[in-house]
Amino acid sequence: MKYDFDMISVTPDEFQSKYATLLSVFRMTEQAAEKLAMFRDPLTTWALSGASDEVRECFVASGFALNCRQSTDRAGHYAAKTENSRSEVLERLRQNVDALPDDVNWNGFDIDVFFAVAHAAAPEADQKKAVFADARPALPPIALMPADRISSRALSTPAPGF
């Protein structure tokens, strides 16, 4: 089981930037900035989904989503820009786990290994890649001549009397 997780913005960063003033007017800036922790490994989320209600509620209350996502980050690394929110969610989880009874069913999820992996993970600078940097047009541009223009025509016959 792999315990790597990512912090995902509830509201995309581009939306927050573009509509910052509007979010402020409606006092939704904090809500829009919320982040959820999501595991990368489907087996990890499967284990949590089969754990006892107390364990699942503990993770949700701490800021985890009980589903997974594909990630481009390397194992043992996370996006540096999420360091603060990651630390906050781990601290909440630690407090909530400490409050759990000893006899809860973890369904194979090893909380001690999870915390060891989470604290050993290292931040990694955001490496934005230009997806289309090497793309070249497949065909040369077409120059339209006056004869190539399409004249507009009615799509239907007008009703009688018009």
Rounded CA separation 6/78 (Å): 7
**pLDDT recorded at residue 151:** 55
Which residues, 6+ apart, have CB-to-CB distance to 61 below 8 Å? Answer: 92, 96
DSSP state of 23: H
- Nearest Cα to 75, choosing from 6, 129, 130? 6
Report the C-alpha gap between 70 and 38 in whole angstroms: 9
Q: Is the pTM of this model over 0.75?
A: no
The pLDDT tens digits for 4-18 are 999 988 877 788 788
CB atoms within 10 A of CB 93: 21
- The answer to whether residues 63 and 5 touch, using CB atoms and an 8 Å cutoff, is no
**pLDDT digit string, tens, across residues 89-135:** 999 999 999 999 999 999 999 999 999 999 999 998 865 544 444 44
Which among 126, 40, 36 is positioned nearest to 85, based on CA atoms? 36
CA distance 97 to 91: 10
Q: How confident is the model at residue 144 (pLDDT cuts 50, 70, 90)?
A: low
Euclidean distance between CA atoms 1 and 45, whole angstroms: 10
Return the closest-CA partner of residue 6 out of 60, 85, 59, 61: 85
